[in-house]
């Protein structure tokens, strides 16, 4: 279980994340939603300790993550794999080597310097690529791949870290609809099949509601909604998307209608069966 207590991040006088407290049970798939600048990315970066909190604590299985240093901090970053919007692959390296980079925190410093990956490492990397339907491209340079393919390589790299938590920061923001579905399907399968907790920053409410067990809505650095997708109201959606209501917010409201319709159909089907 991941527990966040009064977590705050200030940049000068501005609080990008303002005293957030949350509990994330193991194995949950959580969508963090809200407009750009709401604090979603800063929150995930603090959880991985890529950004240092100004106040508050992060507790995982009774361990104070905010106090970790050195080897213990490196181990935490291994256990909380990050997936980024811009993929963060090494373009000149082949796909397999990019995935193998996810094994660096499992190896000694000497082996890391010579990049002498073991056969076990390679088997893990190939298995992860095969799972994401990317095994046939393992020898191809990463820079030659499409955006959706690159994001799947990034997910495979996260998998070989053997993480307990995956933190995905807008993983579909630069993808077309087809690749959006492929990437979200992959994250959903990993969550369900491996029991890995997934926290995913998403701008698209429709996608968030479709894949996530729980939505955490942020506005102005604060949590303004924390519940199942079906509980999200039009009023909260308007607060989440603010001045973007005409654009992203309108799509969000349409998504609410779609969620309600889906739930009604599911309830009717269950009633008919009984």
- Taking a C-beta distance cutoff of 8 angstroms, is the pair 71, 196 a contact? no
User: Residue 167 and residue 44: Cα distance in Å, rounded?
Assistant: 6
- Taking a C-beta distance cutoff of 8 angstroms, is the pair 27, 190 a contact? no
The rounded percent of the chain whose pLDDT value lies above 90 is 69
Q: What is the pLDDT of residue 252?
A: 56
Q: What is the pLDDT of residue 170?
A: 93
The pTM of the full predicted model, rounded to 2 decimals, is 0.84
Output the CA torsion sign for 103, 107, 111, 113. positive
What's 24's domain CATH number?
3.40.50.300
- Domain residues for the domain of 171 are 2-273
- Taking a C-beta distance cutoff of 8 angstroms, is the pair 180, 172 a contact? yes
Instruction: Tell me how many domains the chain contains.
Output: 1
118-122 average pLDDT score: 89
**Residue pLDDT, tens place only, 148-160:** 999 999 999 999 9
**Residue pLDDT, tens place only, 4-17:** 999 999 999 899 99
The answer on pLDDT for 263 being more than 60 is no
164-180 average pLDDT score: 92
């Amino acid at each position: 279980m991941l527990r966040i207590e009064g977590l705050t991040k200030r940049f000068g006088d501005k609080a990008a994340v303002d005293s957030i407290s949350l509990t994330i049970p193991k194995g949950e798939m959580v969508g963090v939603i809200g407009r750009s600048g709401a604090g979603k990315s800063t929150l995930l970066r603090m959880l991985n300790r890529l950004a240092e909190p100004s106040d508050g604590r992060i507790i995982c299985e009774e361990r104070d993550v905010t106090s970790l240093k050195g080897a213990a901090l490196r181990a935490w970053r291994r256990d909380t794999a990050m997936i980024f919007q811009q993929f963060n692959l090494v373009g000149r390296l082949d796909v397999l080597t990019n995935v193998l980079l996810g094994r660096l925190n499992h190896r000694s410093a000497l082996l890391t310097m010579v990049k002498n990956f073991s056969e076990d490492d390679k088997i893990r990397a190939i298995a992860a690529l095969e799972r994401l339907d990317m095994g046939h491209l393992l020898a191809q340079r990463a820079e030659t791949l499409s955006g959706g393919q690159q994001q799947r390589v990034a997910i495979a790299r996260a998998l070989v870290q053997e993480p307990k938590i995956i933190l995905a920061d807008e993983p579909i923001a630069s993808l077309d609809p087809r690749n959006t579905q492929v990437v979200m399907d992959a994250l959903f399968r990993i969550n369900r099949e491996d029991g890995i907790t997934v926290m995913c920053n998403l701008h698209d409410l429709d996608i968030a509601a479709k894949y996530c067990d729980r939505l955490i809505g942020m506005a102005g650095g604060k949590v303004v909604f924390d519940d199942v997708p079906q509980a999200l109201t039009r009023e909260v959606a308007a607060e989440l998307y603010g001045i973007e209501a005409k654009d992203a917010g309108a799509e969000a409201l349409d998504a609410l209608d779609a969620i309600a319709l889906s739930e009604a159909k599911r309830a009717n089907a269950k009633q008919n069966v009984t």
